Amino acid sequence: MLTLATLAAALIALAPTGSSPLPPPGVVDGTTAQQLQQRGVTVLDVRTSQEFEAGHVPGAVNIPYDQVAARSAEVGLKGKPVLLYCRSGRRSAIAASELNKQGFTAVYDFRSLSDWPGPVEKGPARSK
């Protein structure tokens, strides 16, 4: 089981030199999500490809929530932070739970694209 001390050490190790540590994993607000994205955290849009094409967080990777278990290797290393979102928060919560079951230790969920404070991009999904 992951201890608080282990988690804290991992988060501190992942923080770029000279910056503050990442917040604890879990649900975050749009402002925190944008700060995580600006720090290079992998952003994962778990909506359908059609929803993704209509608008998504800049730099996001699209893996629909019902494919996350099968495609978790595409997310990256299990110790690296990943930021999820969907339309309402239901699918991102399901995907976050699946990633946690698979051993991902720094999963952030800002639930809804409508909470994103910055601009969105339009266009087709790109693979990670």
User: Starting at the edge strand that comes first in sequence, how are the strands of the sheet with 82-86 ordered?
Assistant: 26-27, 107-112, 82-86, 42-45, 61-62
Among this protein's residues, is 30 annotated catalytic? Answer: no
Measured from the Cβ of residue 126, the count of other Cβ atoms closer than 10 Å reads 11
* Catalytic residue (one of 86, 95, 113, 125): 86
Q: Which residue has the tokens 């700060």?
A: 35
- CA–CA gap between residue 6 and residue 24 (Å, rounded): 12
Domains of the chain: 24-115 (3.40.250.10)
Q: What is the pLDDT of residues 82-122, one digit of tens each?
A: 999 999 999 999 999 999 999 999 999 999 999 999 999 99
- Contact assessment for residue 26 and residue 73, using Cβ atoms and an 8 Å cutoff: no
Q: Are strands 42-45 and 61-62 parallel, antiparallel or unpaired?
A: parallel
User: Sorting pLDDT into bands at 50, 70 and 90, what band is 127?
Assistant: low
Q: What is the pLDDT of residues 10-60, one digit of tens each?
A: 544 454 545 789 999 999 999 999 999 999 999 999 999 999 999 999 999
> Is a pLDDT exceeding 90 seen at residue 8?
no
pTM over 0.95: no
- Contact assessment for residue 56 and residue 87, using Cβ atoms and an 8 Å cutoff: no
